[in-house]
Amino acid sequence: MTATTPPVSSRLFKLLRWPLAAIATLALSALLLSIYIKDGLGNTAIMNGNWATHMNIGSEEAGPRLKALVAIAGLLASTREDSIYYSLKSLNGEPLKLNCRYTITGDDYDADWWSITAYGWDFYLIPNEQKRYSFNNENLIRNANNSWEITVSAAAAEGNWLPIGPSGGRAEDKSVDNDFDLLLRLYTPGDDYLQRPESASLPHVKLEGCA
């Protein structure tokens, strides 16, 4: 009695089923991740005006979604007691856009060191000829009363200018409404940020106009 050889199609299916399953799993993971990125911190965010933060960043309580966002967004999150991060993607519901001009105003904040960085929608630093990606409490040009103002725009500006030219990502890959976002990092923050993040003092961002 001779054994029957399985059809070629059956053997091919058995050979490819695990690679196909792996590809399907990766595709589903990518889809879910893109949804997570678009939603950002979602309903778990703590809002302070237009700025959003999450007290579990850098803590053991951070869930898989938050850890994924931290890894992709490049927060380099340390422990919650050592740092706190606020992100801003929109002003009063309007996503930040490259064709608009914004000003950020503020003073000093209760932290050993802080910075404001602009990131493209792809979570990377925005390429620009000046190679200028952020300002911090040590390199800002300040007014006589120690206050400061940063201009955020694609067009060149005097003083503290933060360029926001096109991001390096492909336009067809864009899945979020905002063209860029702002990230405020505060290292060794004071008690207000750790205990009352929704009301602690933060920079003020204003839309000046759009082209």
Q: What is the pLDDT of residues 187-201, one digit of tens each?
A: 999 999 999 999 999
Condensed to tens digits (0 to 9), the pLDDT of residues 76-133 reads 455 556 889 999 999 999 999 999 999 999 999 999 999 999 999 888 899 999 999 9
The rounded Cα 14 to chain-centroid distance in angstroms is 42
Distance CA 52, CA 183 (A): 10
Bridge partners (DSSP) of residue 153 are 163
CA-to-CA separations, 113 to 68, 82, 83, 184, 191, in angstroms, rounded: 26, 11, 10, 11, 15
The domains found in the chain, sorted by start residue, are 40-210 (2.60.120.600)
Distance CA 44, CA 204 (A): 23
Q: Specify whether the CB–CB gap between 85 and 56 falls below 8 A.
A: no
Q: Specify whether the CB–CB gap between 102 and 96 falls below 8 A.
A: yes
For the question of whether the overall pTM of this predicted structure is more than 0.75, the answer is no
For 138, residues 6+ apart whose C-beta sits below 8 A from its C-beta are 113
Q: Specify whether the CB–CB gap between 179 and 97 falls below 8 A.
A: yes
